Amino acid sequence: MLTQTKNYHSCSNFDNEFSPFYELNNDYSDDHYQHELSKPSTSLTNPKYLQNYGSKLHAIVETEAKVSAKPASIKKILLVDDDPDVTLTFKAGLDGRFYDDSKRFDVYTYNNPILAVKEFKPQFYDLLLTDIYMPHMNGYQLCDKILELDANIRVCFMSAIEVNIKALREVYPNVSFGCFIEKPVSIKYLISRLSAELD
């Protein structure tokens, strides 16, 4: 059964949405705008309307086009932790996240440090974020291997156990020690530490 559709003549929603444009020109009264909105073709061809608003609208379109065309700076993070819950949580919190207006994280995860070394791509990652205590290869050994392949990568270590940094520097003299992050850690804090290390 067909039902009768409502006939919408009211422009109240349209008026509310575009009311900022009305206030830009004091020469036109509210009554005039109501009259013009009922005849859109007249508004669009009115020389005074186009003169007053044409340049403003053109500037807005140009600005939006420039902003949308600005490429994002992507910071690639290699995350290695033997706990799948950690890599899953950190990837969900960091991946695709913008940490300022134009920089975002891309996160690549591994739960096996040996596989991470085997599949490592030099000059691809910006930062290595790794757990310290892992089976088969600890975070320092992993870092040592990665730095042999790419000396420019930055490094952040994570651990739920207190770390003696001075002793570690003696044991691993070739490792480039970056920041140390104590687990558990919030995503907000992790973002601030990683962004500081990358900037």
In the chain, where do the E strands start and end?
73-80, 103-110, 127-131, 154-159, 179-182
Work out how many domains the chain is built from and give that number. Answer: 2
Confidence of residue 186 (pLDDT cuts 50, 70, 90): very high
Last residue of one domain, picked from the residues 50, 69, 88: 69
Same domain, 177 and 159: yes
pLDDT in tens, 93-111: 999 999 888 899 999 999 9
Say what percent of the chain tops pLDDT 90.
43
Last residue of one domain, picked from the residues 25, 42, 69: 69
Give the residue from 79, 186, 193, 55 showing the smallest Cα distance to 129.
79
Residue 4 lies in a domain: no
Domain that holds residue 120: 73-198
Same domain, 61 and 158: no
pTM assigned to the model: 0.62
> Helix, strand or coil for residue 10?
coil
Residue 14: pLDDT over 50? no
Same domain, 54 and 121: no
Q: What pLDDT, on the 0 to 100 scale, is given for residue 123?
A: 96
- What is the rounded distance in angstroms from the CA atom of residue 74 to the CA atom of residue 199? 12
pLDDT in tens, 130-149: 999 999 999 989 998 999 99
Same domain, 104 and 60: no
